[in-house]
Amino acid sequence: MAIKYVPEPFRIKMVERIKILSREEREQKIKEAKYNLFNLKAEDVYIDLLTDSGTNAMSADQWSGIMQGDEAYAGAKSYYNLVNAAKDIFNYEFIQPVHQGRAAEKVLFPILLGKGKYAISNMFFDTTRAHVELAGARAIDCVVEEAKDPSLRAPFKGNMDVEKLEKLINELGKENIGLVVMTITNNSAGGQPVSVQNMREVSAICKKYNIPLNIDAARFSENAYFVKQREEEFKNSSIKEITREMFSYADMFTMSAKKDAIVNMGGLIGIKDNEELYQKIKGNCISYEGFITYGGLSGRDLEAVAIGLYEGQDEDYLRYRIGQLEYLASKLDDAGIAYQAPVGGHGIFIDAKAMFPHIPYYEFPGQALAVELYKEAGIRTCDIGSYMLGNDPDTGKQLRAEFEFTRLAIPRRVYTQAHFDIMADALIAIKERASSVKGYRITWEPPILRHFQAHLEPIE
């Protein structure tokens, strides 16, 4: 039985019109887009679930903050507002704004990584992996085994496999490990949370071998909410207390504020207490992003992040947000549709391999489902599977991904219960005709990050 939808803890003050094209029009549009959802015009999409990043609805308080933005080049009031908010929430000494998450990675990673070095993570997000490699190092994923079975329900499928981590450190040599990264929540594994206990164990290993520990903090508030729900020790703690506890185990963090700070643009670097490292960060930031007190953002953006950091920590909001996904997941349970379970924080990752057992990985089941969702209901999603993974850089052969997911990423405070019903109904309708859905072949692809630009066609 479907569970109840948690009502929105806000009312709507401003709306944006969306329209749905006819089925024939959608079929035409996706064909013209060469069956690549990134090639669609946003106005041809009815419910846009391509990403939860920067697609959030800001509050009336944030919009008022925008009007108060101090645009001074140096020492703006909005900079101090942001630094004070972040210091208060994370309890770190040094805070550096940057324009988005990958900018934080670009500024920080070259200081700690270089040729011959490794970075190990519970799972790297694509751009994070790219910045490890751009710095000359190699990126290794080390997530717990239970993350790899979508149907297996476990409370913390985002965790690091600590035994494997220690083994890797010993094999590769502790002096060659430049950085350990904990991604909270674990996006690539399905928005799955990491427990505080796991943070503690990872931190103890990092201390033992003297390796810096970084948090990839994009969805830190959602992670804290899951900890409160699922980790006995924290059931009476506030979201802020849990956040401070999680961050106390790391040395630094990189953060895309486009997620849990509920803004459209922004990012942060935090350093717990290492002043020497902060000095180096300031140097890189001035070269790549802009002066220290604006870091590639307008004053108004700094102000919106400062306010949004607190709004993202509000427990009523988090209950509603995670509740939306649990509502959708319970409808899928009733219909026997498999997904990375239990549902994660920022999206639901549908197991397209289970939906289309007749489509092999090299015909991209996750992409096939993404195309069907657009044709069925004008919903835009993306493949998180072999299509996204691409080819082996040495042999040029298609790689086989651990999962074949289609991700429905949910923008914050944007869609209502009726939109969630449409998502469930569309997935159920596709499941009913699943055996007639065809796989895809690539007709053109660029050499790197191909999924953003490739052309495809259905295999008849």
- Return the residue of 100, 195, 214, 367 that touches ligand F0G, per CB under 6 A: 100
Return d(Cα 142, Cα 159) in angstroms, integer.
Answer: 9
- Return the residue of 216, 245, 289, 311 that touches ligand F0G, per CB under 6 A: 216
For 330, the enclosing helix (H) or strand (E) is helix 315-335
Which range in 96-104, 110-118, 203-211, 358-366 contacts ligand F0G by CB under 6 A?
96-104
Least Cα distance to 191 among 160, 215, 226, 238 occurs for 226
CA triplet 41, 373, 397: central angle to 5 degrees? 85
In the bound state with ligand F0G, the residue whose beta carbon lies nearer, of 5 and 185, is 185
String marking each residue 392-421 x if it binds ligand F0G according to CB under 6 A: -----------------x------------
Return d(Cα 253, Cα 180) in angstroms, integer.
Answer: 11
187 binds ligand F0G (CB under 6 A): yes
Return d(Cα 206, Cα 120) in angstroms, integer.
Answer: 11
- Return the residue of 36, 195, 256, 386 that touches ligand F0G, per CB under 6 A: 256
Catalytic residue (choose from 29, 117, 131, 259): 259
Neighbours of 460 (CB within 10 A): 4
String marking each residue 334-363 x if it binds ligand F0G according to CB under 6 A: ------------------------------
Active site residue 131: no
380 binds ligand F0G (CB under 6 A): no
Active site residue 451: yes
Asked whether the beta carbons of 117 and 342 are under 8 A apart, the reply is no
Active site residue 52: no
Please report, as a single letter, which amino acid is at residue 449: L
For 133, the enclosing helix (H) or strand (E) is helix 126-134
In the bound state with ligand F0G, the residue whose beta carbon lies nearer, of 193 and 439, is 193
**Residue 312, both tokens:** 């993202």
193 binds ligand F0G (CB under 6 A): no
102 binds ligand F0G (CB under 6 A): yes
Residue partners of 10: CB distance under 8 A and separation at least 6: 59, 317, 413
In the bound state with ligand F0G, the residue whose beta carbon lies nearer, of 126 and 315, is 126
122 binds ligand F0G (CB under 6 A): no
In the bound state with ligand F0G, the residue whose beta carbon lies nearer, of 187 and 386, is 187
- Closest approach of ligand F0G to the CB of residue 285, in Å: 15
Catalytic residue (choose from 125, 349, 374, 415): 125
Return d(Cα 181, Cα 76) in angstroms, integer.
Answer: 32
- Return the residue of 101, 296, 344, 345 that touches ligand F0G, per CB under 6 A: 101
- HSE of 102, CA atoms in CB hemisphere, 13 A: 10
Active site residue 29: no
Please report, as a single letter, which amino acid is at residue 187: N
**Residue 417, both tokens:** 């219960």
Active site residue 73: yes
Q: Which of residues 43-62 bind ligand F0G (CB under 6 A)?
A: 51, 53
296 binds ligand F0G (CB under 6 A): no
- Closest approach of ligand F0G to the CB of residue 336, in Å: 27
* Widest pairwise Cα distance in the chain: 61
Neighbours of 316 (CB within 10 A): 12
Catalytic residue (choose from 57, 103, 218, 261): 218
Burial tier of 232 (Cβ tally within 10 Å: 0-12, 13-18, 19+)? exposed
Cα torsion at 184, 187, 188, 194 (round to 10°)?
A: 30
Return d(Cα 302, Cα 326) in angstroms, integer.
Answer: 32
Which range in 124-132, 316-324, 423-431, 434-442 contacts ligand F0G by CB under 6 A?
124-132
- Closest approach of ligand F0G to the CB of residue 444, in Å: 23
Burial tier of 126 (Cβ tally within 10 Å: 0-12, 13-18, 19+)? middle
183 binds ligand F0G (CB under 6 A): yes
Question: Which DSSP letter does residue 299 get?
Answer: H
Which range in 84-92, 95-103, 272-280, 370-378 contacts ligand F0G by CB under 6 A?
95-103
By rule CB under 6 A, what count of residues binds ligand F0G? 16
- Closest approach of ligand F0G to the CB of residue 255, in Å: 8
What residues act catalytically?
73, 125-126, 216, 218, 259, 451
Residues near ligand F0G (CB under 6 A) are 51, 53, 100-102, 125, 127-128, 183, 187, 216, 218, 256, 258, 267, 409
